[in-house]
Amino acid sequence: MRTLITLPLLFLGVLAHQDWTYTEGPNDETHWPEEYPTCGGDRQSPIDVQRKKVRYNPSLKALNLTGYEAQGGDFVMTNNGHTVQISLPPTMRMTTAEGTEYIAVQMHFHWGGAALEISGSEHTIDGLRYAAEIHVVHYNSKYESYDIAKDAPDGLAVLAALIEPGDRQVGRRGQGQLLPTEAPALFALQVKDYAENSYYSNFISHLEDVRDLGQSTVLSSLDVQDMLPTDLRFYYTYGGSLTTPPCTENVRWFLLADFVQLSRAQIRKLENSLLGHQDETIHNVYRTAQPLNGRVVEANFEYHSDYRKINPQLFFAICGLLLPSVSGGPLSSGNRAGRRVS
């Protein structure tokens, strides 16, 4: 039996306030700085990742993720008026290349879906917006709680992944294959829908339980590991902000290079299941790309314009030999088995 509950509208990272919106009206993102001055700062997120300008940093090792595997418990899933959010247990940890440990707090999604708008990721790659984006929000373990860390200069970190719909299938061009990060901007690829991603089935089936603003349900099991891309070794990183008010500029971003693959039917379900303020379907819940203002985006892999000539599995295997895991964690490079999307 599914449990439905209603909770006070106080959530972490994405706040259920009616005094801001993404688009249209006096409270849209262009007006956020009037109420939240930091939203007009110089280190805002999201950004457009321009791959030719990304700086390769060989010292960046794979992230070490622990506690991300399948587990039972009570995971509150809520419609907060801007997105669907799932609370996460403090046993979920992320350790960075320099050894900083972050504790997971919640995960949520950004998507599009409005008329003439099919894409809704917040980060873009070479100007291309993807179908949706998943954010796993963490706080620095040096602080006693999220409430304290959220105001600290080094308080937060977000692990992000782009969600790829069926009409951007990574495929072949001539005799070469494309890396996931290469395919979108360079070639028109065969339109082929992905099969349903079974690792998202439980989450998507519960969207109907949180249809209305403020409505919550409890998931009895959760597997964040399998809701992320297959390959977790390679990522972009930069210093930025929360992408919603108050837009605090204390977030270390880690954007995975690999994609989550969902069927187009699953994407449509995510885009059209929730109602927000004034009982309108929640669409286009993403902020547009913000200026870099001199910031440098780094990556732990090198970009080459001729990657499309390389078999991606071979490329990742070679990079895996050069990219040692961090502490041998269960989800560090080389330790995570490949997954099947069925």
Residue 110 CA to residue 197 CA, distance in Å, equals: 18
Strand partners, 301: none
Residue 104 CA to residue 122 CA, distance in Å, equals: 20
* Burial class of residue 104, CB neighbours in 10 A (0-12, 13-18, 19+): buried
Contact 255, 158 (CB under 8 A): no
Catalytic residue among 31, 82, 108, 138: 82
Strand 235-240 to 128-129 pairing: unpaired
Residue 261 CA to residue 180 CA, distance in Å, equals: 11
82 in active site: yes
Residue with tokens 């079974």: 198
Q: Which residues are catalytic?
A: 82
